[in-house]
Structure 1
Amino acid sequence: MLEFVFLLPIVMGGAAFFLPVSLGRGILIVAALLHLQLTVMGWLGKLDPYFPDYFSSSPEGLLVLLVTSFIFLFISIYAISYMNETEMQSEHIFISCMLLFLGTMSMVTLADHPIVLWIAIEATTLVSAPLIFINRSKEALEATWKYVLICSVGIALALLGCFFITLAMDIKEIDAPLTFSSLNAVAGQLDPIWLKAGFIFIMIGFGTKMGLAPMHTWLPDAHSQAPSPASALLSGALLNCAFLGIYKVHVLMHVAGLGAYSSNILIGFGLVSMFVAGIFILNQPDYKRLLAYSSVENMGVIAIGVGIGGIALYGAILHLIHHSLIKSSLFLSAGNILLGFGSRLVKKTGNLARLFPKTFVAFFAGFAGVSGFPPFGIFISELLIIMGAFQRGRFVVLAGFIFCLTLVFAGAARIVMRISFANAGEDVLVEERMLRIIPSYVLLLTSIGLFLWMPETIFEVIIDTIKVLGGSVNG
């Protein structure tokens, strides 16, 4: 049963809340392994939905699900060592919410009903909020309230967008199930005015959760205050789930003949997100907030690639995969830096290359990867988006895209160099541990591996994801 993919972590997360912490840690790893196994079975077509009116295995959903499950496994391995070092309060709550978070995100990827998708995305907010507040500081409380309030307002607007889409069907008296699959089949008959209104509200609502500017304001605070394993999940998995909601509605718009309308909106939000991120990265005093603004920028990159279409759309989906791998690794490396120096402030760090050489390799390689240098996959994804913009004559968009990439790189490079090589004291709070090093290395090596060789099954799923929008590897 396909629903086991999200029911398993939800049930095990509920159990972990009541069990001793020592058992909870084991449950976290076991659940991650079982979830990855179920995900692979879903990829192989061995799991059928028990409720086909609500859930299905769409190509884009399976892709996001696989990325989520894969990074969760290595984030969980890291989290075990991280919890030992920090002596975290309420560890049973942390483990439970991590698993519930995995379950709700998995539900998002499999939802075929707009309202079920909305419920699942709202549920991700509720179960991830305790992860941000887990340290119980004043700053964590503020970040948690900001996260819940802003995302809830955004999700409420997305719900209104879902209602408008149903109105687009009801006004034309179309008798069809309320699923994305059925809506795509009758898209040409839907009322275009209500569809356009629905997309605007979906874009703002789910765009808030995706971290697109100017609705991004919760993201830097939440990422900076959450423990590093939770930050890695927020950036590497949650933002993709919100994007999935926008993507499904964009597909509906395209099939209905309104693709140019939704594409221009995506490009507009993407450029604004990249520019805002670039401005705030300049002279950023907090390296975890730096990574958060980098996520805002990369969500903008994905939005632009999807909006341009063609070969840029293929680049956008590649970007989604590689950003999740590299950014998750960077947040785990940032967790090691925080444990070692005891501060998120850039000025209180330095000489990472000598004091923490293994973390330095992962952190600096992650910076190179997220900046678009080979042999990491973001190099090819951004190159494809640039090529797509050029092919389609989007020269203004292309100029803005390249300018924002340069702005972000210039701001981030100065900070990363400061952390890596600037003079610092010899005192460190903790030593490097392999369980906190290996996950970052594996995630980075996976990005390199996918850059050098793309497995046929993954390539076919990406093609199935983009072909409905006319995307291809040939432009």
Structure 2
Amino acid sequence: MIELVFLLPLVAGLAALALPSGMSRILLLCTALLHLQLTVMSWMGKLTPAFPQFFSASPEGLLILLVTSFIFVCISIYAFSYIEETEVENKPVFNCCMMLFLGTMSMVTLSDHPIVLWIAIEATTLVSAPLIFSHRSTEALEATWKYILICSVGIALALLGCFFITLAMELGNIDAPLTFNSLNTVAAQLDPVWLKAGFIFVVIGFGTKMGLAPMHTWLPDAHSQAPSPASALLSGALLNCAFLGIYKMDVLMNVAGLGEFSGNVLVGFGLLSMIVGAIFIIGQPDYKRMLAYSSIKNMGVIAFGVGIGGFAMYGAFLHLIHHSLIKSSLFLSAGNILLGFGTKKVQRIGGIINSLPKTFVSFFAGFVGISGLPPFGLFISEVIIIIGAFQSKRYISASLFLFGLTLVFAGAGRVFMSMSFGESVEKVQVGEKMLRLIAPYALLLASLTLCVWMPDAIYTAINQAIATIGGTIHG
């Protein structure tokens, strides 16, 4: 049964609490590899839902599940070395929460029932909060509480949006199971007023977890205070899960004939997120917070592409994949820099090219990739989204989109150049280790590989995910 995909890491996570640190690290890595195997089996159709009234294998869900599983394997290899070298006090608890985090995110990707989806997304908040508090500092405590409170309020609003959907069913006199698959077949009969209200609340609620502005305020603190493996998961996987909740609602809106309304909402939030992220990247003194604001910007790019629709929607899904790979790599490289120099302050770090040459390669390549420059995939996805915007005759929106990209490149470029080639105040305290280099390189290599060769299964999944609402893989 496909439910094993999330049951395995949940059970393994609980088992890690009874194991010593070394054994729990091994369990973390083994769970990651088994989870990837189960994910591949799901893609091959060998696992089917035992509870189809709650779970299903949708193309967009399987796509995000595969990205999450691959990233988790890389992060587990990295964490095997990294966690032993840091000040994480209770390592078995950290490993436990990492696996529980994987389990709840996997449940999100397979959920077909709106309330089950909501429960799974709320569960990701609860199991990931201890990861943010791993260093037990005052700043980490503040970031953890901020994360829990803001995301919980947002998720509560999303629950209200789900209730509005059920109200739209009642007013439309619809007798159908409360699943996204069933709702899509009767979408035209749903009450449009309550469906619009539900969509707004879902976007605000899940948009809080996704990091869309102005609901993004938890994200920079959480990403900067969490250990780098957790930061990579938060940015590379969790934000995608929140997006999935919004996307399923957007599909429902389009099938109900309200696609223009939902598209305008997503374009608005997308552009605002891009501009806010770009502004805060400029002059950012903390490089982990800079990466967090970059995630806000990139979530805006994805929302913008989905809102535009058509060819841009294909670009949005490509952007989701490549952003997850590149941003996870960057956070892991940032972890190597933090271990090496012992600080997150940009002005105290310089000369990475000489002091940490292998980390420099992944760090600078990550900057090239996340800035949307060739040969990495974000260049392709952003070009596709721009073409899609012009095809839709959204010239003002496309201009604002380009302005946001330019600001981000200028702000991030200054930070990366200073850290890579400038003079350093701090001296390197910890050298480079192979286990902490394999993962960032593998993630970047995966992004490069997908630029020149995309497996037919992934190509087909993207096509199936966007075709329902008029998305196209051809310009």
Q: TM-score range by the shorter chain?
A: over 0.9
**Alignment partners' CA distance in 1, 2:8 and 2:97:** 14
Instruction: Trace 1:45-444 onto structure 2 (pairs within 5 A).
Output: 45-425=45-425, 427-444=427-444
Match of residue 467 from structure 2: 467
- Counterpart residue type for residue 92 of structure 2: H
Q: Which amino acid aligns with 2:265?
A: I
Q: Distance in 1 between matches of 2:382 and 2:17?
A: 42
- Structure 1 runs (4+) greater than 6 angstroms displaced: none
Give the distance between the partners of 2:426 and 2:391, measured in 1 at CA: 53
Per-residue deviation, residues 54-106 of structure 1 (Å, max 9, x unmatched): 00000000000000000000001000110121152100110000000000000
List alignment gaps of at least 5 residues for structure 1: none
1:103-122 residue CA offsets vs partner (Å, 9 max, x unmatched): 00000000000000000000
Deviation at 1:195, TM superposition (A): 0.2
Bigger drift between 366-375 and 97-106 goes to: 366-375
Partner Cα distance (2:348, 2:96) in 1: 33
2:440 alignment partner, SS class? helix
Contact kept, 8 Å, 1:298 with 1:323, in 2: the verdict is yes
Normalising by structure 2, what TM-score? 0.99
Q: Which secondary structure state, in structure 2, belongs to the residue aligned with residue 469 of structure 1?
A: coil
2: CA distance, partners of 1:17 / 1:348: 38
Distance 2:410 2:88 in 1: 36
Query: Which whole-Å CA distance do the structure 1 matches of 2:350 and 2:66 have between them?
Result: 36
Residues 383-432 of structure 1: CA deviation (Å, up to 9, x unaligned): 00000001110000000000000001100000100100111257211000
The one-letter amino acid paired with 2:27 is I
What stretches of structure 2 of length at least 5 have no aligned partner? none
CA distance, structure 2, for counterparts of residue 244 and residue 473 of structure 1: 19
Query: What is the number of residues matched between the two proteins?
Result: 475
Determine if the alignment matches structure 1 residue 15 to structure 2 residue 12.
no
SS at structure 1 position matched to 2:112:
coil
* Preserved CA contact (<8 Å) 2:341 2:426: no
Q: Which amino acid aligns with 2:374?
A: P
Matched with 2:34 is 34
Please say which of residues 235-244 and 454-463 is displaced more in the overlay: 454-463
Matched position secondary structure for 2:17: helix
d(CA) in 2 for partners of 1:423, 1:175: 68
Letter aligned with residue 93 of structure 2: I
Q: Distance in 1 between matches of 2:22 and 2:237?
A: 26
SS in 1 for 2:153: helix
Cα distance in 2 between the residues matched to 1:307 and 1:348: 41
Matched residue type, 1:407: L
> How many Å apart are 1:458 and its aligned residue?
0.6
Q: Matches of 1:141 and 1:88 in 2, distance apart?
A: 14
Alpha-carbon shift at residue 368 of structure 1 (Å): 0.3
Counterpart amino acid of 2:14? G
Provide the alpha-carbon RMSD of the alignment: 0.7
Contact 1:169 1:190 in 2 (8 A): yes
Q: What is the rounded CA distance, in whole Å, between the counterparts of 2:147 and 2:82 in structure 1?
A: 24
* Mapped partners of 2:62, 2:89: distance in 1: 35
Q: Distance in 1 between matches of 2:25 and 2:188?
A: 51
User: 1:56 is paired with a residue of what secondary structure?
Assistant: coil
Deviation string, structure 1 residues 155-176 (Cα, Å, up to 9, x no partner): 0000000000010001122100
For the residue of structure 2 that corresponds to 1:437, the secondary structure is helix
Counterpart-to-counterpart distance in 1, 2:83 and 2:273: 34
Q: Which amino acid is the alignment partner of residue 231 of structure 1?
A: S
Structure 1: distance between partners of 2:427 and 2:262: 53
Contact 1:13 1:100 in 2 (8 A): yes
CA distance in 2: counterparts of 1:37 and 1:230, whole angstroms? 22
Aligned equivalents of 1:424 and 1:314: distance in 2? 42
Structure 1: distance between partners of 2:339 and 2:19? 27
2:101 is aligned with what amino acid?
Answer: F
Q: TM-score, normalised by structure 1?
A: 0.99
Distance 1:350 1:375 in 2: 26
| Residues in 2 aligned to 1:298 and 1:426: alpha-carbon distance in whole angstroms | 31
Q: 1:426 to 1:215 in 2, by over 3 A?
A: closer
Deviations 1:168-225 (A, max 9, x none): 0011221000000000000000000000000000000000000000000000000000
Alpha-carbon distance in structure 2 between the residues aligned to 1:331 and 1:426: 20
Partners of 1:34 and 1:131 lie apart in 2 by 22
Cα 1:426/1:116, change in 2 over 3 Å = closer
Amino acid of the structure 1 residue aligned with 2:146:
K
Q: Could you report, residue by residue, the CA deviation over 1:247-275 in whole angstroms, capped at 9, with x for unpaired residues?
A: 00000000000000000000000000000
Matched-pair contact (CA < 8 Å) for 1:355–1:426: no
